[in-house]
Structure 1
Amino acid sequence: MESFRRKGILLLVLFFISSMPYNPRTEYFYNLTKLKEARPPERIKLVMVDNIGSGKPLIEEGLLFTFKDRKASSVGIAGNFSSWNIKYMTRGKDGVWFFFLPNSSFSGKIVYKFNVDGLWTEDPWNGLREDDKQGSYTSLAEIDAPEEGKLVTYKILKGNNVLFRLYRPEARIVSLVGDFNGWNPENDLMKKDKKGIWRLEKKLAPGTYRYKFIVDGQWMPDTFNPDSGTDNTGEICSILKLR
C-alpha cells in the first residue's frame, strides 16, 4: 500500500511539473548526476522524491552550483550561506560536481568559493566576482529576486509574451536576434533601464526558438539561460521553448 501511495503522489507531482513554466526549469536529482558540463549558478526547481510522505516540500526552488573536475577526490562549496563551513558536493558520472541551495535556507547576495582537494578557488564558470581582500576573489550569486539582479534571462509572461533581458550596464547598443526575426540586428533593439538591464518584450507563437544578443557588435548567447544549441554557423546560441 505504501508503494502505491508513493507512486500516486509522484504522479501528481509529475502532473504539477508538466504545467510549470520553463523558467526556472525543473530537475530530478538523478538528472543532475548526468550533467556533462559545469555552468554558472542557475535557478532550478528540484523534485525531492525522498520527501514523499515526509511532510517536507516535494519541490524546492533554489540555486544549482556546479564544478567540473574529473580528477578531484573531493569538491566542496562554502560561503556566507554556510558561515564558510564547507558543504561537500555530489560527483556526477562525467566529473561534474553539484550542490543545490534551496531558497528556504538563504536569501540575498551569496558570496562563495569552491574547495577542491583542500585548495580554495573562485568559480571559473561565473564571471561575477569581487575582491576578497586577501589577494584573490570570491564568486557572487543571488538566490532571490533574480529579475532585479544581475543573473537575468528571459521570462515568460501571459499570452505567450516573452520578456528578454540581459544585464550589461556598460553596453551602448544591444539588439536581440533569432529565428523569430530572421537574425536581423536591426529588427529588435533593446532598451536599458536604470539598473543596467536591457529589456525587450515580444509576443511569440508556441515553439522552439534559437536566439542571441548583439552587444556593441559582439554576438553572444544568453548567459544565464541553461538551454543552448547551435546557430546556422555552428556557433553556440540560446534556446527558448514556448508551450
Structure 2
Amino acid sequence: MKHLFLPVCIYHRRRTPTLIAAMLVLITGTLPLFSQAEPVQPGDYSALPRQMSVEDHLFILGLSRAQAPVLRPEQQQIILTYEPARQSETVGYRNQIQYRSRGPRQVAVAFGHEQYRVLHAMDRSPEGVFFFFFDYEDSLLSEIRTLEYRFVVDGVWINDKNNPHQRRLLSGIQISQVPLPQAPLIPKETPVVSQTGPMSLREVTFLFEAPSGSLVYLSGTFNQWDPYLHRLKEIQPGVFRITLNLRPGTYFYYYVTGGRRIIDPLNPSMGADEEGIALSKLHIPQ
C-alpha cells in the first residue's frame, strides 16, 4: 500500500497559517489527529463571513441542527454546517446519573479547488452545530462550476451527510458538492485584472454596456489617449469587451461612443485631468 505525504495547513482567515506535516491515506480517507496544529476553539471568527449582518447573527443563533448547504447568491456565500453524532457518556454521582456530551475537539473543512491542502477551522453555534461561511468572488465562478469539499473531524476525513449532492471516487471516497451559480457576464466592478499574463504583464479586461451595434472605443494613458486604437468587441447584444496586457502601475481612461466620452460606470475609482474633467482610474499592483 502506497501512502501519499502532503503538507496540510490549518488556515484561519485572520491568523497566520500553521504548517504541519500530515499523512493523507487515499484508500481509507483518514488523517491522523493534527494535535500539533493550532486548535479549533469555539468563538474562532475565521469561520464567520467578511461582514456580519443581522441575518447572519440570527442564522447562527438559530442553528440547532445541521442542514444541507445554504446558497446565498446575492451575498456570494455558501454556509456549510456539521453536527456531531449525539453521543454521551454516563457520569454517576451517588444516586444521580448525569449525561455529558462527547463532541469532537477539532472540526475543519477542506475544498477541492485548494487541492484539500488547507483546513479551514469551523466555528460552533450556541447549540453545538459547527458552521462555516464560504465567501466567493466572481473570479471563482469563472474557474469552477461546482464547489467540492470534505469535513475533517478530529483528523478523520468525511463527507457532508446532509448534502444530497455527492461524487464517489474510484477508491470509494465520497466528495460533497455544491453547484455554483453562473458567473455574471459583467462583474460588479471593472476592469477585471488577472494575475496571469506574458512576462510581467497583467491581463486587464474592460467591459461596457451600450445599445447593440454601437461603436465603443477605449482611450487612456496606456494608448496615449488614442480614441480609435482599441475598439471593444460586442460579445453579446449590448455587452462590449476588450482585454489588454498592461504592466503594473496606475492608468487613467474613459470610453468613447457616439462621439461622447464616458467614464467607466462600474469603476468607483476616479481621477481628473489638468482641466478637472473626470477620468476613470485603474491601479495594477506589482
Q: Is the helix fraction higher in 1 or 2?
A: 1
Normalised by the shorter chain, which TM-score bucket? Answer: 0.3 to 0.5
What TM-score do you get using the length of structure 1 for normalisation?
0.43
Structure 2 length as normaliser, TM-score?
Answer: 0.37
